[in-house]
């Protein structure tokens, strides 16, 4: 245990049920305030008692937190009500949380103790995304209102302001992509963010010079693609395995992310549960990823690979052991046929979560619908109580 408490080691805690980009945004902002970020993860039992049933187990949630590039160390079984003694044991003086209030089972502010001690720092909460939102989408099973239409094709190599509307992007979202593309310090540039359309590849976020050079070098780019919906432990284990292989060969990893219509065509119902931008931000925050391509095609065929050059020179295409879901649609078969013919295809071996896909997580919610609907109702009451506490706190601060 660490005995020396320092301003440079920041503490964040939470449930982290589903690795959505709101969690990553909190960790990013916290990391920017110090040199190290320690992340406390609540136990399944603590969450059940204070909030409701979890979807992901503690081990699964720990895996997601550890994969975030801004996390220095993940700590399991952190108390639901933040305790200064627990933070002290890891050398953390300040805890960071969003500009909303989180309450325990009794309706009390979980950070009331550290707030009274002056050890609480506020960052901006990411709007319009939460575990509660995602569970709500799963329970609906039909709503696709969160899906983003396919991109307009007429883009240039460098995306202009006029192009942003075609991409359904606003300046705030572009800035979010820039921030999520930063390195482990949360400040310096690292990843490139690219957009694929019928007219070719376009650059949205410029990578670091080192990444740019590696993107164009021969035999230095490993490409993987997929929907990456609900970005969970199966995705993380796969990307970690790709990272290990890439490190052995001095390569970087570029992830192609299919658009919402492609994923929906493959999986049906209201999939993907997360929109393209939500999924891309989840992938981008992962420590095993170096760059992403938005709206990547279903098949990384010869025409696609040729169009990527000279911006991205793919040397190897990798896929995990999970089957490719196509709902029997002939047009979606054999996405890696060209890659195999070109000698670029490699299949990564088995991992502990290779039997789980996004649908399995949704099934966890649907199979316990009554419990999760009760959680949603409870969240409604908690939200009203938390709004009242926020108003009281603002009034006190203004005095």
Question: What string of DSSP letters covers 149-210?
Answer: PPPPS---SB--HHHHHHTT--HHHHHHHHHHTB-TTSSSB--EEEEEETTEEEEEE---HH
Q: Are residues 129 and 42 in the same domain?
A: yes
Q: Are residues 254 and 302 in the same domain?
A: yes
Q: What is the pLDDT of residues 11-43, one digit of tens each?
A: 999 999 877 788 899 999 999 999 999 999 999
Q: What is the pLDDT of residues 97-136, one digit of tens each?
A: 988 888 998 889 999 999 999 999 999 877 666 777 777 8
Asked if residue 78 belongs to a domain, the reply is: yes
Q: Are residues 334 and 385 in the same domain?
A: no
Assess contact for 131 and 17: CB atoms under 8 A: yes
Asked if residue 223 belongs to a domain, the reply is: yes
Q: Are residues 222 and 305 in the same domain?
A: yes
Q: Are residues 195 and 236 in the same domain?
A: yes
Q: Are residues 155 and 48 in the same domain?
A: no
Using the predicted structure, report yes or no on whether residue 381 has a pLDDT greater than 50.
Answer: no
CA distance linking residue 12 with residue 313, whole number of Å: 38
Q: What is the pLDDT of residues 258-314, one digit of tens each?
A: 999 999 998 889 999 999 999 999 999 999 999 999 999 999 999 999 999 989 999
pLDDT given for residue 310 in this prediction = 87
Q: Which helix (H) or strand (E) covers residue 33, if one does?
A: none
Which CATH number does the domain housing residue 211 bear? 3.40.50.620
Q: Are residues 179 and 258 in the same domain?
A: yes
Q: Are residues 351 and 302 in the same domain?
A: yes
Asked if residue 140 belongs to a domain, the reply is: no
Q: Are residues 151 and 240 in the same domain?
A: yes
Asked if residue 215 belongs to a domain, the reply is: yes
Q: Are residues 214 and 306 in the same domain?
A: yes
Can you give the residue range of the structural domain that contains 378? 2-135+373-394
Q: What is the pLDDT of residues 80-89, one digit of tens each?
A: 999 999 999 9
pLDDT given for residue 264 in this prediction = 93
């Amino acid at each position: 245990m660490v005995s020396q408490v320092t301003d440079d080691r920041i503490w964040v805690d939470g449930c982290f049920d589903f690795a959505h980009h709101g969690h990553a945004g909190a960790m990013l902002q916290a990391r920017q305030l110090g040199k190290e970020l320690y992340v406390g993860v609540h136990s399944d039992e603590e969450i059940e008692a204070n909030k409701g049933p979890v979807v992901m187990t503690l081990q699964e949630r720990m895996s997601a937190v550890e994969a975030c590039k801004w996390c220095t160390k993940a700590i399991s079984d952190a108390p639901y009500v933040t305790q200064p003694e627990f933070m002290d044991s890891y050398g953390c003086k300040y805890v960071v949380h969003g500009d909303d209030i989180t309450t325990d089972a009794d309706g009390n502010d979980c950070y009331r103790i550290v707030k009274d001690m002056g050890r609480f720092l506020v960052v901006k909460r990411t709007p319009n995304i939460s575990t509660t939102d995602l569970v709500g989408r799963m329970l609906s099973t039909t709503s696709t209102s969160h899906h983003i239409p396919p991109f307009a094709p007429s883009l240039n190599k460098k995306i202009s302001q006029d192009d942003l509307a075609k991409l359904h992007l606003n300046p705030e979202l572009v800035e979010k992509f820039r921030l999520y593309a930063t390195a482990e310090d949360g400040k310096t540039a690292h990843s490139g963010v690219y957009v694929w359309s019928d007219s070719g590849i376009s650059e949205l976020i410029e990578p670091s010079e080192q990444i740019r050079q590696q993107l164009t070098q021969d035999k230095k780019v490993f490409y993987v693609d997929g929907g990456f919906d609900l970005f969970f432990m199966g995705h993380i284990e796969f990307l970690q395995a790709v990272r290990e292989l890439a490190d052995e060969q001095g390569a970087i990893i570029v992830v192609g992310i299919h658009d919402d219509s492609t994923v929906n065509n493959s999986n049906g119902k209201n999939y993907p549960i997360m929109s393209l931008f939500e999924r891309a931000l989840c992938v981008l925050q992962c420590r095993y990823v170096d760059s992403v391509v938005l709206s990547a095609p279903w098949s990384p065929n010869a025409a696609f690979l040729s169009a990527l050059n000279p911006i991205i020179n793919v040397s190897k295409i990798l896929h995990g052991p999970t089957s490719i879901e196509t709902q029997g649609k002939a047009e979606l078969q054999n996405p890696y046929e060209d890659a195999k013919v070109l000698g670029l295809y490699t299949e990564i071996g088995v991992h502990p979560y290779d039997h789980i896909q996004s649908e399995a997580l949704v099934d966890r919610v649907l199979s316990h619908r009554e419990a999760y609907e009760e959680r949603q109702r409870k969240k409604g009451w908690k939200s009203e109580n938390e709004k009242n506490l926020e108003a009281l706190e603002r009034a006190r601060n203004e005095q």
